[in-house]
Amino acid sequence: MGDHLELLLGVVLVASPVFGISSCSFDHQTALYHFCNLTKVPQVPNTTKSLLLSFNYIRTITSMSFPFLEQLKLLELGSQFTPLTIDKDAFRNLPNLRILDLGKSQITFLHPDAFQGLPHLFELRLFYCGLSDAVLKDGYFRNLESLIRLDLSKNQILSLHFHPSFQELNSLKSIDFSLNQVSTVCESELKPLQGKMLSLFSLASNHLYSRDSVDWEKCMNPFRNMALETLDVSGNGWTVDITGNFSNAINGSQIFSLILTHHIMGSGFGFHNIKNPDQSTFAGLARSSVVHLDLSHGFIFSLNFQLFGTLKELKILNLAHNKINKIAKGAFYGLNSLQILNLSYNLLGELYNSNFNGLSKVTYVDLQKNHIGIIQDDTFRFLENLNTLDLRDNALKTIYFIPSIPNIFLGGNKLVTLPNISLRANFIQLSENRLENLATLYFLLQVPHLQILILNQNRFSSCSPGPAPAENLSLEQLFLGENMLQLAWQAGFCLDIFKGLFHLQVLYLNNNYLRSLPSGVFSDLTALRGLDLSSNRLTVLSPGDLPANLEVLDVSKNQLLYPDPSLFASLSAVDLRHNQFICECQLSTFISWLNQTNVTIFGSPADIYCMFHESFSRVPVFSVSMEGCDEEEALQSLKFSLFIFSTVMLTLFLMTIFIVTKCRRFCFLCYKRVQRLVFKDHPQGLESDMYKYDAYLCFSNKDFKWVQNALLKHLDTQYSDQNRLSLCFEERDFVPGENHITNIQDAIWSSRKIVCLVSRHFLQDGWCLEAFSYAQSRGVADLSSVLIMVVVGSLSQYQLMKHQSIRSFVQKQQYLRWPEDLQDVDWFLNKLSQQILKREKAKKMVNNIPLQTVTTIT
Ligand SMILES: *[C@@H]1O[C@H](CO)[C@@H](O)[C@H](O)[C@H]1NC(C)=O
Ligand SMILES: *[C@@H]1O[C@H](CO)[C@@H](O)[C@H](O)[C@H]1NC(C)=O
Ligand SMILES: *[C@@H]1O[C@H](CO)[C@@H](O)[C@H](O)[C@H]1NC(C)=O
Ligand SMILES: *[C@@H]1O[C@H](CO)[C@@H](O)[C@H](O)[C@H]1NC(C)=O
Ligand SMILES: *[C@@H]1O[C@H](CO)[C@@H](O)[C@H](O)[C@H]1NC(C)=O
Ligand SMILES: *[C@@H]1O[C@H](CO)[C@@H](O)[C@H](O)[C@H]1NC(C)=O
Ligand SMILES: *[C@@H]1O[C@H](CO)[C@@H](O)[C@H](O)[C@H]1NC(C)=O
Ligand SMILES: *[C@@H]1O[C@H](CO)[C@@H](O)[C@H](O)[C@H]1NC(C)=O
Ligand SMILES: *[C@@H]1O[C@H](CO)[C@@H](O)[C@H](O)[C@H]1NC(C)=O
């Protein structure tokens, strides 16, 4: 993920050299004959510099095998499938040979003069050739005055009796005897190497000194008078005793780098029968100027007091991959020059203030891959030169002990929050922890001089207000991949986490579930050159979302539909693979941009494909034709006009609906006012007739309050001057003391209309029902409809029909319902007044009973 940004991080990829020729052929410099079934050396031009003949069936090399190849520098004859015989002066026609490789060929016969006549040979590879001690004893390498590297590893050499001619090989630097069977090496055998300074002498994996017991009195110092840059005695099964005896034996020989990995020193975990190294084990190396000691891959369980006390010049100590659980007090005393201490991959569980006492010069302490859960606060405080502390993959829950040092690795611990400690650092790595709250990020951004901050694979998802972002932050690289920023951002929090990062150059935000980028979130990132947004869920990038000077952008594995190419204007490279482009005409600008842009597009074109189109699913966008999209544009504009038109119509329609539903009362009142102004308050239809009242209001007295508020106040003249009707109702107009029936009859006959307000109470009130039937009978007598029935409340048809008089009315005539919506009340009352005022023409035709206005308002 985000590998492209590494270009910006300074990682330079080196292309491996590719031979321009196929196997079994040559050009004028190189002849390549791997796996060509050759049984003898092929004819090649005299200009050949490299002759590569591995993996063939060549059985014999004699002085006649090679033509004269003056230019040849490199000859590979290794890995022959058949045993190889090498005769006298076999390579004499190759006078300028530099490298001869016979590795992995089974050499059954090697003439003592086989390598003669190679004055410029500097590397001879004879590994895994089945060679025996004789190859050293019998002077095979004499006169190889340029020989620097001799690789004799993986042979069957049992002892190292060097032929005296080695004394003359003044260029010799490196001899590799690893993986042979050399069980002892003593002073007398290596005499020809005395006085030499070698860069590598490897005796690794030989069971050296461990198979047979050694009489060191006799054997003396094998490396007497020698200086070895690196002595490798790894994998020889050395115990504490062997190591101690060997160290004492090589008293005084210079060995700058002693590689003693894969040893068996130490008790391991849970055992006590095997010794851990102690003060005496390495004491014999006191005068050997050991600078680098590698004791990795062993079983050391405890680091004892003054274990390395005599190694005053030691700079690098590697104790990785042991079983170290205990560090004794003063274990590192004497390591006055130590700079790098590697204690990774051990079993340390806790660290104490005194553990690293004595390491006054140490700059790098590697403690990764232990089980450290707790560290005393002052453990690292007094390591004045400490530069880098690696505590990755431990079990830390807090970091109070972290000193102010430039480089801090804390990845793979159990940190949930960070304490408010004062910290300065250039580099902080905190990936793979459990950090949740972005307040931690605000805190880290305050760290002075911070340049690289690595926070990927945490759980950043919440945000509580942190300190305001500082003004001018030094941060250059910020890794926030594999968090959950979407959760914080979608809640609208922490949108300012990148504020003030004017120096930031590289930002990783991959795998954060991002659906969109909060606008302006990158606005301060004016120096940003690389941005990784891969593996999110972005569908759209808007202009202005990306920082202005961006050069490399990774938006692969998102859900971009049809990106606008102008977004990528500033870029030099972009990764657009595995999105979900929609291959419709909207994509045509993007496709033609892809076809001709100078911006480097990462990956294979097949990985930039279309989705969501029946016929185009997973079709590379490059192969999609956008022909016909221009016509479609014309159509598009027609479509656009249609769209505008229908939008307007729809809006009008919706407005009408809105007015009817929400503002009809207001409109009605306006209408009434206008009407009143026009007709100058000239009440219509108010000609006097023979009736005393305009209407008799018949209702249950339990409903009086409601009737007064809802009707009387708005209609009856006595309630307001605005009202025009004179109404009759029991509570006011009935003559007290008079028979109730008489009162009702009077009211009915002296009113033009009878309005019955049929409510639940009305139906339960016998007087009301009586009045209703009476009014109905007057209607029949008049041959006109004088009864107006208004149903109030939620009475069902069924409830009305239960009462005989009402039933007969309902069956013949329409009735009114009191409106449910308050807005409609004014309109209703107006309607009602009109009904009341309407004068019935005397109807002569019996059958033609006029209908009341049909009104059922819901
Ligand atoms: C080498 O011999 C094998 C077996 O005879 C054959 O399959 C192969 O093609 C040969 N290779 C060349 C390069 O001739
Ligand atoms: C290579 O061989 C050609 C003849 O085949 C000869 O003319 C030329 O001098 C030779 N070159 C060298 C460097 O030996
Ligand atoms: C180490 O040297 C001592 C004294 O020379 C000897 O007794 C002992 O056997 C030696 N140990 C090994 C493992 O060679
Ligand atoms: C190493 O050699 C020096 C002098 O050559 C001698 O003083 C010292 O005791 C020797 N050390 C050991 C451990 O043999
Ligand atoms: C320490 O050793 C481990 C394991 O071999 C290695 O990965 C790491 O790079 C070493 N640390 C240093 C600082 O060399
Ligand atoms: C952290 O500590 C510093 C000084 O010790 C103090 O100024 C700051 O307010 C503290 N921050 C928080 C968030 O507690
Ligand atoms: C920001 O800091 C840099 C040094 O890191 C300094 O050169 C620059 O002037 C500062 N800019 C502002 C606006 O403070
Ligand atoms: C890409 O450009 C070439 C000419 O530069 C043109 O022939 C080809 O049709 C174009 N392909 C697409 C998909 O636009
Ligand atoms: C691509 O680069 C060439 C030469 O560097 C330039 O002429 C051309 O205009 C560039 N094309 C675009 C689309 O930038």
Kindly write down the DSSP assignment for every residue of 486-535, as one continuous string: HHHHHTT--TTTTTT-TT--EEE--SS--SSPPTTTTTT-TT--EEE--S
Mean pLDDT of 146-162: 96
Q: What does the pLDDT read at residue 814?
A: 79
Lowest-confidence region among 241-255, 633-647, 677-691:
677-691
Does residue 389 contact residue 405 with C-beta atoms inside 8 Å?
yes
Q: What does the pLDDT read at residue 809?
A: 79
Which residues partner with 76 through β-bridges?
52, 101
Confidence of residue 81 (pLDDT cuts 50, 70, 90): very high
Q: What does the pLDDT read at residue 15?
A: 40
Task: Identify which has the larger pLDDT, 586 or 256.
Answer: 256
37 lines ligand 1 (CB under 6 A): yes
- 233-414 is classed CATH 3.80.10.10: yes
Q: In angstroms, what CA-CA distances link 85 with 55, 64, 80, 368?
A: 16, 13, 11, 51
233-414 and 697-857, same CATH topology:
no
User: Which atom of ligand 7 is nearest to 502's Cα?
Assistant: 1
Distance of CA 231 from the midpoint of ligand 4 (Å)? 20
Q: What does the pLDDT read at residue 20?
A: 62
Mean pLDDT of 557-561: 90
623 lines ligand 8 (CB under 6 A): no
Tens digit of pLDDT for each residue in 787-846? 888 888 877 777 777 777 788 777 777 788 888 777 788 878 888 888 787 775 544 333
Confidence of residue 683 (pLDDT cuts 50, 70, 90): very low
For residue 570, pLDDT beyond 80:
yes
Q: What does the pLDDT read at residue 714?
A: 83
Mean pLDDT of 68-94: 95
Burial of 314 (0-12, 13-18, 19+ CB in 10 A): buried
For residue 687, pLDDT beyond 60:
no
Q: Which ligand is nearest to the CA of 46?
A: 2
Q: Which ligand is nearest to the CA of 25?
A: 1
Which residues partner with 84 through β-bridges?
107
Query: Which residue's alpha carbon is nearest to atom 13 within ligand 3?
Result: 242
Mean pLDDT of 395-407: 95
User: Which atom of ligand 8 is nearest to 623's Cα?
Assistant: 13
Mean pLDDT of 539-555: 90
Mean pLDDT of 448-470: 87
Distance of CA 259 from the midpoint of ligand 3 (Å)? 21
Q: Any residues with Cβ below 6 Å from ligand 5, and which? A: 296, 320, 340, 342, 344-345, 364, 366
Confidence of residue 10 (pLDDT cuts 50, 70, 90): very low
Which range of 6-20, 114-128, 453-467, 712-726 scores highest in mean pLDDT? It is 114-128
Domain boundaries, the chain: 233-414, 430-559, 567-656, 697-857
Mean pLDDT of 3-17: 49
Distance of CA 251 from the midpoint of ligand 4 (Å)? 6
d(CA 278, CA 282): 8
Confidence of residue 684 (pLDDT cuts 50, 70, 90): very low
DSSP assignment of 339-381, as one string? Answer: -EEE--SS---EE-TTTTTT-TT--EEE--SS---EE-TTTTT
Q: What does the pLDDT read at residue 642?
A: 65
597 lines ligand 9 (CB under 6 A): yes
Task: Identify which has the larger pLDDT, 794 or 216.
Answer: 216
Distance of CA 587 from the midpoint of ligand 9 (Å)? 22
46 lines ligand 2 (CB under 6 A): yes
Among 213, 221, 251, which is best to mutate for testing ligand 3, by the most ligand atoms less than 8 A from CB? 213
Tens digit of pLDDT for each residue in 39-65? 999 999 999 999 999 999 999 999 999
213 lines ligand 1 (CB under 6 A): no
User: Which atom of ligand 1 is nearest to 23's Cα?
Assistant: 13
User: Which atom of ligand 9 is nearest to 596's Cα?
Assistant: 13
Confidence of residue 14 (pLDDT cuts 50, 70, 90): very low
Q: In angstroms, what CA-CA distances link 800 with 111, 471, 762, 840, 857?
A: 130, 80, 11, 26, 17
Average pLDDT, the chain: 86
Lowest-confidence region among 108-112, 473-477, 699-703:
699-703
Query: Which residue's alpha carbon is nearest to atom 10 within ligand 8?
Result: 595
CATH tag for 430-559 (out of 1.10.10.10, 3.80.10.10, 1.20.1260.10, 3.30.70.360): 3.80.10.10
23 lines ligand 2 (CB under 6 A): no
Does residue 473 contact residue 503 with C-beta atoms inside 8 Å?
yes
3-class DSSP assignment, residue 316: strand
For residue 459, pLDDT beyond 90:
yes
Query: Which residue's alpha carbon is nearest to atom 8 within ligand 8?
Result: 595
Tens digit of pLDDT for each residue in 327-359? 999 999 999 999 999 999 999 999 999 999 999
3-class DSSP assignment, residue 823: helix
Query: Which residue's alpha carbon is nearest to atom 2 within ligand 2?
Result: 46
d(CA 763, CA 758): 7
DSSP assignment of 708-738, as one string? Answer: IIIIIHHHBTTT-TT--B-EE-HHHHSPTTS
Q: In angstroms, what CA-CA distances link 116 with 87, 96, 112, 134, 752?
A: 11, 12, 9, 17, 146
70 lines ligand 2 (CB under 6 A): yes
pTM above 0.85, yes or no: no
- Residue 837 host element (H or E): helix 825-837
For residue 165, pLDDT beyond 90:
yes
Give the per-residue SS3 of 572-616.
CEEECCCCCEECCHHHHHHHHHHHHCCCEECCCHHHCEEECCHHH
Q: What does the pLDDT read at residue 835?
A: 79
Among 279, 287, 288, 289, which is best to mutate for testing ligand 4, by the most ligand atoms less than 8 A from CB? 287
Q: What does the pLDDT read at residue 643?
A: 65
Confidence of residue 493 (pLDDT cuts 50, 70, 90): confident
d(CA 128, CA 132): 11
Nearest to 250 by CA among 278, 293, 216: 216
595 lines ligand 8 (CB under 6 A): yes
Protein fold of 697-857: Rossmann fold (3.40.50)
Task: Identify which has the larger pLDDT, 158 or 815.
Answer: 158
Structure tokens at 418: 């960070």
Distance of CA 71 from the midpoint of ligand 2 (Å)? 11
Among 587, 593, 594, 595, which is best to mutate for testing ligand 8, by the most ligand atoms less than 8 A from CB? 595
Q: What does the pLDDT read at residue 843?
A: 40
Question: 3-state DSSP: the chain helix, strand, coil percent, rounded to 5?
Answer: 25, 15, 60
Distance of CA 497 from the midpoint of ligand 9 (Å)? 37
Task: Identify which has the larger pLDDT, 707 or 486.
Answer: 486
Structure tokens at 172: 């010799």
257 lines ligand 4 (CB under 6 A): no
Distance of CA 446 from the midpoint of ligand 6 (Å)? 11
Query: Which residue's alpha carbon is nearest to atom 10 within ligand 2?
Result: 46
Nearest to 506 by CA among 463, 536, 539, 549: 549
User: Which atom of ligand 5 is nearest to 296's Cα?
Assistant: 5
